[in-house]
Amino acid sequence: MFRLLTLTLVGLLLPTLIFAQDRPNIVLILMDNLGFGELGSYGGGELRGGATERLDALAEEGMRLLNLNVEAQCTPSRAALMTGRYAIRSGNASVPVTTGNYGLTQWEYTMAEMLSDAGYATGMFGKWHLGHTEGRFPNQQGFDEWFGIPNSTDESLWPGQPQFDAVAEEGVSPYSVPEYIMEGFRDEDPSNVRVYDEEQRRSIDGELTERSIDFMRRQVEADNPFFLFIPYTLPHYPVLPSREFEGASGKGTWGDVLLQTDAYVGDLLDTVDELGIRDDTIFIFTSDNGSEFLPGHQGWSGPWRGSYFTGLEGSLRVPFIIRWPGKVPAGQTSNEIVHMMDLYATFAEIAGAEVPTDRVIDSIDQTAFLTGQSEKSARDGLMVYVGKRIFGVKWRNWKMMFNEVELGSDPLVTFDFPRFYNLYDDPKEMYPLNPSTPGNFWVRWPMGEIIAEHTASLKAEPPIPEGTPDPYVPE
């Protein structure tokens, strides 16, 4: 009996022990506002003017998710990814509209801190958007090194504007200064490298790629398992390719941007192969938000309606490709619900890291699902937020929505009666189920349970208020 129990326990623990011993490298590419339909493997590519051959091949080599969900804005998505918690909990439910003390408090335990504590070298090259004040830069939140921008790419348009330059020269406000590309090393104050202007906006993703390649080379030479986070700046407004790729597609800006992105990802994949770490590296390509909506820069959400800054599927669903040879089944496609923040608990399981137990963690371990041990996701629903407001809830192929915004710049519409959608029958959420047909609304019960559980957790552990300074300790 004891031997049988021992063998059973060993069998249950074996996947965890194998993952912990192997400690695969992790390369996580996070695009900025890349819509669901942009890549060839998601219906775009040539249709959008630029073939994405390397990314499409990556999808064939791994798993492609059709129902990977994010938050509705840049800062909330990144906060959820880094903490494994809905952004409302960390005080980052919205993109900041002021220049104050926003971002993650030091009390939050980031993905980078978690993997660093598990023995990983951690590097980030790209956009942060989770704090730009002392103690809140990436290299002060668990990354050994960081090169990139602290805030949003649209700030690259500020330099060169006559009135902005005049105000900056007058010193009217300490924040009347341009955004800088910055560089920092663990626990140090980062330094300004150069002004982030329109020309730098064009070239930065190429430099992020070069620095990421250098980071991988150095870690392999030192025999360190590594977590490489590459939050590229494209295709966030302004959508501008580098000079090298400008006109490369012959079909317009979006074609150029897709060719450029595909080439840069190809360079990273080639480096992984060259270093001999292909089988030992989890390689992920995804996006923080749905598509851009500003005229002249608009992206494409594929079969879905809406853009980021909405609660529609065009905001919530983004491309997600994961490759881990020998672990993640190749050529797989799934419409199972997963949330971006699930990577937090999943990476912890794979790396043998510890998930905090002193706070609410919304992340769910998806190791069994992603490695083909289960056809089902460990998650069947999620809350839909836009800013601090609950817009609704998703459960399996259903949505129950209380509010709607058509595009990010449109006014809020609040429904007198919740609207229910079957996403199999109505992917664009244009035909809410008839409320006079009660048989349609049994789904309010499972979705109501998700909402009740979530709101109860907010009462049990109140969210951190926006702008909370450090040091922060929950009451």
Query: Catalytic residue positions?
Result: 74, 129
Cα–Cα distances (Å) from 213 to 41, 63, 115, in that order, read 25, 24, 20
Q: Is 125 helix (H, G, I), strand (E, B) or coil?
A: strand
CB atoms within 10 A of CB 184: 22
**What DSSP string runs through 352-419?**
T----SSS-------HHHHTTS-SS-S--EEEEEETTEEEEEEETTEEEEEEE-SSTTSPPEEEEEEE
Find where tokens 């192929």 sit.
397
Among 375, 334, 379, 352, smallest CA distance to 15 is for 352
Instruction: Phi first, then psi: give them for residue 442, nearest 5 degrees.
Output: -60, -25
Element (H, E) at 13: helix 2-22
Q: Is 199 helix (H, G, I), strand (E, B) or coil?
A: helix
Q: Is residue 39 within 8 Å of 254, Cβ to Cβ?
A: no
Cα dihedral sign, 295-297-303-305: negative
**C-alpha 146: how far from chain center:** 17
Find where tokens 């840069």 sit.
264
- Spell out the residues 6+ positions from residue 93 whose beta carbon is closer than 8 angstroms to its own: 76, 87, 385, 387, 388, 463, 466
